[in-house]
Amino acid sequence: MGIKVTAVEPGGMKTRFAEPESLKVTSFGPAYDATVGATVAMMRTPEYTAALHDPAGHAAMILKLGQLDDVPSRILAGGDSFDYAAAADAERKEADLRWEAH
């Protein structure tokens, strides 16, 4: 049928998602300080904002993919996405090797 599919795995993008006006965080207990609290705190830092990519670059890449005859089944969009995927692959490989003998 000529249908081509690519799973796009984007990294962080500059959207209004983490802005205080659009992201409302409800109260949470101290048991969640290391997870929810750390994530919220990280999202409110200037470093987080500076690391986000312009969504226009991701959109341009997707449009370019649509012009290809041979598309990948999966593509990482943005350097941070590549870093996260590489770390996940390394963890998976380590677990596979650790459990291979069992």
Whole-number Å distance between alpha carbons of 83 and 56: 21
- Classify 49 as helix, strand or coil: helix
> Residues 29, 102: contact at Cβ < 8 Å?
no
The residue with greater pLDDT, 40 or 19, is 40
For the record, the structure tokens of 13 come out as 């993008």
29 band by pLDDT with thresholds 50, 70 and 90: very high
Task: Report pLDDT for 44.
Answer: 85
Q: How far apart are CA 18 and CA 23, in angstroms?
A: 5
Judged on CB neighbours under 10 Å (0-12, 13-18, 19+), 78 is: buried
